[in-house]
Amino acid sequence: MSSQLPMLLFLVPFFAGVSMPILAARRPSICQPLTIGAVAVMVVLAIVNLRVVLNGGPIEYAIGGWAAPLGIAWLDDTIAATVVLTISAVALLSLIFGRVVVPARLERSISYHTLILLLIGGLVGLIFAADLFNVFVFLEVAALTGYALVGAQGGKASVFAFRYLLLGSFGATLYLLGVAHLYAATGTLNMADLATRLPQIVTSTAVAGGLIYIFLGLSIKMALVPLHSWLPDAYENAPEAVAPLLASTVTKVALVAWVRIEYSLIVPGLEVGHVPVLVLLEELGVIAALIGGALALIQTDLKRMFAYGGVSHIGLILIGVSLGNPTGFVGGMFYLINDAVMQAALFMIAGALVHYHGARSLDDLRDLGPRSPWLTGALIVVAVGMVGLPPTGGFFGKWNIILGALEAGHLVAAFTVVASTLLTLGYFVRIFACWFNRSAGAEAQPQPVAGSLRVSLGAISVSMIALGLMSDSIVRFLLESLAGGGV
């Protein structure tokens, strides 16, 4: 049974999604409960799966019984199990939150809930995929459903969804072109096989070009500066009910896909044309972290501010995983898990502000402090996590990235983490300056909020603190996984 867990984690949302048009054809009102129920089952399976992997080691799953390299291989290791649990839990809380803010037109929409479930299924398949072509397949399943969900609200959201589609399709083309280069050079797409064949030919033009194309394609998907332009517009205009799910999962899972490729195929110290590959990736992360933070600081629209903050944190994660040492890698991956939770929390708060107060910009936040205690509490917790203060997990992720940078002697990377933190502090200071700026005679009566909002915000706030309190254990088993070759 335990060997089937990766497939079960994929099939639960996928089967629920493709069955939705039949199950809900006569009773569209069951769409939302079915979706939440399927993801709740996923969370339970993901917890069991993580325990199995921690106790028994990685699960190698051959679809249809055909072993790699002929068959399709999935790898369920510590990193995959941890990220799948994170994605499942964040998706569940996002869907519970979505009950509050979903428009009536989408609440009973079969296609809308089908897209959500297929998105989650695609993300799970992408995390487990152990060959480059199936990474592409699941990347596109997640991307196509993401485009549709961004435009589900209609109006100008459709324009930005189409722009997202164009850029995403260009990224997919680059990725597939890179896959073709590697296949032509090696005759295989399985990452384990590639890891044994590439060292002898890694500096060849075909291999170098293939890796560059793959990285560029995934850079668009993960919104790495300067290929990030689609993200702020898409997330600003996506429906409030689905924005937390998109913001917390899509770019993070694309980055996880690159991490798998990077650590399978690129060894520390590798140079292509006398350019150290990991150092180049680290420098790209430095640029992204600083530019994303600076752009977030100058925004007045809350969703755009949070979106650019996410762009900055993609840079921080890329710095960590590209330092070439276990400390930095673990710091980057631990921060990725925390950032998924924090981005979901930020877009939940932004969606609730629009729903209850019609607040979209900084100027709209005035007088909200005393009127929104639940939003105020959640915002304080997420601000502490984003800035990177204990006891939240954000602190321990950044701390390990800084330690990894100092261990590698990369002072610029360590400085970038600190500078990005100060930029993050800057835009939260702007938010709180408006949030607690009470006008004379303003109504201070707290406004009631739905129970679903209390559950989702309360649970996600507790999660940010719990990740910090459990950081030692999480960092330890991530280090053990890395030492055992599981990435």
Mean pLDDT computed over 268-284: 68
Q: Which residue has the higher pLDDT, 48 or 191?
A: 48
Question: Does 483 have pLDDT greater than 90?
Answer: no
Identify the pLDDT of residue 70. 66
Give the residue from 214, 231, 221, 148 showing the smallest Cα distance to 177.
Answer: 214
Helices (H) and strands (E) in the chain, counts: 20, 4
Mean residue pLDDT of the chain comes to 85
Q: pLDDT, tens digit, for every residue of 455-464?
A: 888 899 999 9
**CB 206, CB 181: distance < 8 Å:** yes
What share of the chain in percent tops pLDDT 90? 32
Q: What is the pLDDT of residue 415?
A: 92
Q: What is the DSSP letter of 361?
A: B
Q: What's the pLDDT band for 370 if we cut at 50, 70, 90?
A: low
The residue among 209, 222, 223 whose CA lies nearest residue 257 is 222
Residue 129: strand pairing partners: 74
pLDDT of residue 276: 67
Q: How does residue 227 score in pLDDT terms, banded at 50, 70 and 90?
A: confident
143-187: pLDDT as tens digits:
999 999 988 877 788 888 888 899 989 999 999 999 898 888 888
Looking up tokens 């997640």 gives: 142
- Model pLDDT for residues 407-432, shown as the tens digit of each residue: 988 899 999 999 999 999 998 999 88
Q: What pLDDT, on a 0 to 100 scale, did the predictor assign at position 60? A: 81
Domain ranges of the chain: 283-487
Judged against a pLDDT cut of 80, whether residue 104 lies above it is answered with no
Question: Residue 312 and residue 151: Cα distance in Å, rounded?
Answer: 25
Q: Residue 280: CB partners within 8 Å, gap ≥ 6?
A: none
At 282-306, the pLDDT tens digits run 889 999 999 999 999 999 888 999 9
13 pLDDT more than 90: yes
Residue 433: Cβ within 10 Å count: 12
Q: How far apart are CA 240 and CA 342, in angstroms?
A: 16
- pLDDT value of residue 41: 94
First-last CA distance in the chain = 23
Comparing 324 with 266, the larger pLDDT belongs to 324
CA dist., res. 239 & res. 344, Å (int): 14
Residue 67 has pLDDT above 70, yes or no: no
Report d(CA 47, CA 192) in Å as an integer. Answer: 26
Helix 326-357, helix 393-408: angle, nearest 10: 150
**pLDDT computed for residue 175 by the predictor:** 93
Q: What is the per-residue pLDDT for 442?
A: 53
Question: In terms of pLDDT, which residue wins out, 388 or 273?
Answer: 388
Residue 96 · residue 452 · CB < 8 Å: yes
Q: Which residue has the higher pLDDT, 381 or 68?
A: 381
Mean pLDDT confidence for 381-394: 89
Nearest to 214 by CA among 268, 269, 135, 274: 135
pLDDT band at 100 (very low <50, low <70, confident <90, very high): confident
Predicted model pTM = 0.90
Q: For the chain, what percent of residues have pLDDT higher than 70?
A: 91
Contact between residue 462 and residue 93 where contact means Cβ atoms under 8 Å apart: no
What is the reported pLDDT for 269?
53
